[in-house]
């Protein structure tokens, strides 16, 4: 099940850690939509046919045209640590850049887990969304957000 909480305003250290505010302020998927316009959908991945139908229905409903798949997994990629560090160094200024696409974007976690940080509407507060296998998020156009792996999905520590 998806988990959503307020992100600590002074996030220091490893971005792959939860960085809760204390005490933690957890939110529901409905709260997420009200505060950010980001829609959460649970895809039933155990039933492959049902999952494909759900994704195809969403694709037609939202008129999504292309698929892009990428794997962000420290157990599978060669030189994962150096690649991730290079990515953060090269793109640190772009992490919070507003999307330039006119259309919505959907992000689906097929296995493993990832954090999505999204800016609340009309505030400077960030929410962190912990997505696991079967979780799909639909981001509206021109929405501030970023993605990072969880410690379980990307073992960077030696």
Boundaries of every domain in the chain: 3-149
Determine the Cα–Cα distance for residues 55 and 77; give it in Å rounded to an integer: 27
DSSP string, 65-77: ---------TTTS
Q: How many CA atoms, within 13 angstroms, populate the side-chain half-sphere of residue 66? A: 3
CA-nearest of 93, 142, 91 to 118 is: 142
The whole-number pLDDT of residue 97 equals: 45
Q: Which CATH architecture has domain 3-149?
A: Sandwich (2.60)
Residues 6-45 have pLDDT tens digits of: 998 887 777 778 888 888 889 999 999 999 999 999 998 8
If you search the block for the tokens 């969880």, which residue do you land on? 150
pTM: 0.76
Residues 6+ apart with CB under 8 A from 133: 45, 109, 110, 111, 112, 113
Which of the two residues, 1 and 73, has the higher pLDDT score? 1
Do the beta carbons of residue 66 and residue 105 sit within 8 Å?
no
The whole-number pLDDT of residue 73 equals: 56
């Amino acid at each position: 099940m998806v988990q959503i909480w307020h992100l600590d305003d002074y996030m220091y250290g490893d971005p792959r850690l939860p960085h809760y505010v204390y005490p933690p302020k957890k939110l529901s998927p409905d709260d997420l939509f009200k505060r950010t316009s980001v829609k959460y959908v649970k895809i039933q991945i155990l039933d492959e046919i049902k999952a494909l139908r759900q994704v195809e229905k969403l694709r037609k409903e939202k008129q999504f045209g292309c698929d892009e798949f990428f794997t962000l997994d420290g157990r599978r990629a060669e030189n994962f640590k150096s690649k991730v560090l290079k990515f953060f160094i090269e793109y640190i200024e772009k992490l919070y850049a507003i999307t330039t696409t006119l259309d919505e974007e959907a992000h689906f976690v097929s296995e493993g887990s990832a954090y999505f940080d999204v800016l609340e509407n009309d505030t400077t507060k960030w929410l962190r969304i912990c997505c696991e296998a079967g979780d799909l998020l639909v981001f509206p156009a021109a929405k501030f957000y970023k993605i990072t792996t969880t410690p379980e999905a990307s073992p960077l520590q030696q």
